[in-house]
């Protein structure tokens, strides 16, 4: 089926539909005309090819009527690299006398049906500038934002665009799943298997809440620190190379491009940690332990109040609440609608300054949780450190390196490099600079 749109109309586009069986077509929009393929191609100036690639064969029979027409290919494939060449390229080879434009294939049927097109960005590519201009004019009148991606050679890239499945999220999710699996089995051995083997106690009930809560907090803190670690590595590379014009390694570039997604994954784990922490007091085991503690309390001796422990407990909860609040604030500002309303300085301040403050507070939250446990031999079950110790390694390294980069002598040099200064220049550049100065 092909559809034609005439741009001569300012507010409404007369619509004609080409069909193999014009008389048996279903309900159509008001004012739309149904005609044969030949009649539709003959009367149209702008033709939308609304069929899959395997049905392009009928176009050869009406090729003479498509000479000089603008053909808009809106087809999508079921998977990437389904054909050796792009659909639009194949269509152009099939109808060489027409001007093929690839575009509008990223619009969902739901958005078209409900009229939610305002502000949506669409991509166009084609070999004819006039053809792209005609399609762009129509799209602009419909409230769409058009981005020209060049010639028809970009068609394969555009056709692969709707088939992408969270490309920016793959690395963060893989890291999160890997960390979750590692710490789950690590803590399972330390908290459940160790208790059963060494003490003969079955503590498998901890798996559902206590162990999961530990895993979520550990992964959240590590993922947050991994958000800011690539920026520090990039700064160290720039200081080492003495220039900002040298490209970063591919692995570092990929890492930096998915920092936002890593932060959002960390926020998700922080939410889980907060929810699991809230339900701990209402668990059966928590109530049971509280009752046992009261029964064992010796009423003949005065109650001892540990002021240091009270300070530590309150500081632990206060830092946790404050860190989670800043976590949520960072997540809100990462939304396009919120981030777009901020100036560059505001966005940089929130994501960089408040981001590192969030990391510092959450790391301090972890250190206070550990308190003096690292001094007790019983902490190291089977000579293994507890999970919270392992979770503090990466954020501690990030914070220490960040402090070193903030030293005036280092920060001044790094700022100059990022403004274009280079530490090592070739002899020709130095001579050229002297000549220009003279």
pLDDT, tens digit, for every residue of 54-100? 988 888 888 888 898 999 999 999 888 888 999 999 999 999 999 99
* CA pair distance 94, 86, nearest whole angstrom: 12
* CA pair distance 101, 88, nearest whole angstrom: 7
Choose among 365, 407, 405, 370: nearest CA to 389.
370
Q: Does residue 232 sit in the same domain as residue 333?
A: yes
| Contact assessment for residue 51 and residue 36, using Cβ atoms and an 8 Å cutoff | no
Q: Does residue 155 sit in the same domain as residue 222?
A: no
DSSP string, 242-278: T-SSSPPPHHHHHHHHTHHHHHHHHHHHHHHHHHHHH
> 25-59 pLDDT, tens per residue?
766 666 677 888 888 888 888 999 988 899 888 88
Whole-number average pLDDT of the chain: 85
The predicted pLDDT at position 275 comes to 95
Query: Tokens in use for 71?
Result: 């053909």
Least confident window among 89-103, 209-223, 422-436: 422-436
Query: CATH code at 243?
Result: 1.20.120
Q: Does residue 367 sit in the same domain as residue 315?
A: yes
Q: Does residue 96 sit in the same domain as residue 63?
A: yes
In a domain, 119, yes or no: yes
| Structural domain ending residue among the three candidates 163, 193, 208 | 163
Q: Does residue 295 sit in the same domain as residue 236?
A: yes
Q: Does residue 154 sit in the same domain as residue 175?
A: no
In a domain, 228, yes or no: yes
Query: CATH code at 30?
Result: 3.40.50.720
In a domain, 271, yes or no: yes
In a domain, 364, yes or no: yes
Q: Does residue 295 sit in the same domain as residue 149?
A: no
In a domain, 239, yes or no: yes
* CA pair distance 261, 413, nearest whole angstrom: 30
Examine the pLDDT at 343 and tell me if it is beyond 70: yes
Identify the DSSP state of 204: G
In a domain, 224, yes or no: yes
φ and ψ of 189, to 5 deg = -70, -45
Choose among 206, 194, 219, 181: nearest CA to 383.
194
Q: Does residue 106 sit in the same domain as residue 72?
A: yes
Q: Does residue 321 sit in the same domain as residue 400?
A: yes
In a domain, 437, yes or no: no
Domain of 195? 167-430
Q: Does residue 151 sit in the same domain as residue 208?
A: no
Mean pLDDT on 339-368? 91
Q: Does residue 101 sit in the same domain as residue 133?
A: yes
In a domain, 379, yes or no: yes
Mean pLDDT on 343-356? 89
Phi-psi group of 72: left, alpha or beta (phi > 0 → left; psi -120 to 50 → alpha; rest → beta): beta
> 244-274 pLDDT, tens per residue?
998 999 999 999 999 999 999 999 999 999 9
| Structural domain ending residue among the three candidates 117, 146, 163 | 163
Q: How many domains does the chain have?
A: 2
| Structural domain ending residue among the three candidates 112, 133, 163 | 163
Burial string for 43-78 (b: 16+ CB within 10 Å, else e) reads bbebbbbebebeebeebeebeebbeebbbbbbbebe
Q: Does residue 144 sit in the same domain as residue 190?
A: no
Instruction: Give the containing element (helix H, strand E) for 103.
Output: strand 99-103
Query: Tokens in use for 178?
Result: 């890997």
> 274-324 pLDDT, tens per residue?
999 998 888 767 666 666 665 565 555 566 677 888 888 899 999 999 999
């Amino acid at each position: 089926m092909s559809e034609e749109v005439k741009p001569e109309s300012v507010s409404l586009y007369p619509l004609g539909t080409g069909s193999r069986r014009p008389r048996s077509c279903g309900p159509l929009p008001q004012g739309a005309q149904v005609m044969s393929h030949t009649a539709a191609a003959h009367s149209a100036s702008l033709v939308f090819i609304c069929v899959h690639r395997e049905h392009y064969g009928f176009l050869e029979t009406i090729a003479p009527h498509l000479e000089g027409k603008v053909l808009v290919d809106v087809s999508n494939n079921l998977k990437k690299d389904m054909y050796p060449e792009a659909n639009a390229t194949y269509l152009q080879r099939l109808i060489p006398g027409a001007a093929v434009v690839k575009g509008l294939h990223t619009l969902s049927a739901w958005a078209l049906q409900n009229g939610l097109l305002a502000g949506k960005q669409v991509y166009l590519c084609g070999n004819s500038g006039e053809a792209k201009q005609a399609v762009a004019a129509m799209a602009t009148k419909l409230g769409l934002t058009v981005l020209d991606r060049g010639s028809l050679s970009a068609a394969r890239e555009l056709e692969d665009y709707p088939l992408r499945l969270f490309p920016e999220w793959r690395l963060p999710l893989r890291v999160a799943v890997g960390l979750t699996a590692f710490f789950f089995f690590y803590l399972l051995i330390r908290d459940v298997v160790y208790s059963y083997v060494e003490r003969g106690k079955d503590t498998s009930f901890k798996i559902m809440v206590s162990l999961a809560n530990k895993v979520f907090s550990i992964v959240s803190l590590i993922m947050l620190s991994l958000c800011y670690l690539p920026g520090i590595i990039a700064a160290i590379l720039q200081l080492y190379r003495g220039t900002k014009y040298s490209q970063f390694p591919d692995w570092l570039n990929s890492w930096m491009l998915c920092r936002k997604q890593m932060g959002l994954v960390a926020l998700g784990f922080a939410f889980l940690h907060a929810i699991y922490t809230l339900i701990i007091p209402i668990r059966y085991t928590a109530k049971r332990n509280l009752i046992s503690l009261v029964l064992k309390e010796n009423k003949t001796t005065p109650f001892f109040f540990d002021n240091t422990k009270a300070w530590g407990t309150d500081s632990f909860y206060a830092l946790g609440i404050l860190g989670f609040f800043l976590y949520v604030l960072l997540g809100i500002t990462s939304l396009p609608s919120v981030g777009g309303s901020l100036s560059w300085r505001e966005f940089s301040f929130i994501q960089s300054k408040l981001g590192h403050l969030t990391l510092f507070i959450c790391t301090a939250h972890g250190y206070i949780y550990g308190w003096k446990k690292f001094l007790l031999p019983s902490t190291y079950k089977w000579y293994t450190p507890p999970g919270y110790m392992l979770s503090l390694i990466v954020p501690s390294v990030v914070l220490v390196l960040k402090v070193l980069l903030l030293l005036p002598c280092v920060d001044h040099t790094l700022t100059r490099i990022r403004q274009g200064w280079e530490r090592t220049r070739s002899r020709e550049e130095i001579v050229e600079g002297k000549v220009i100065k003279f």
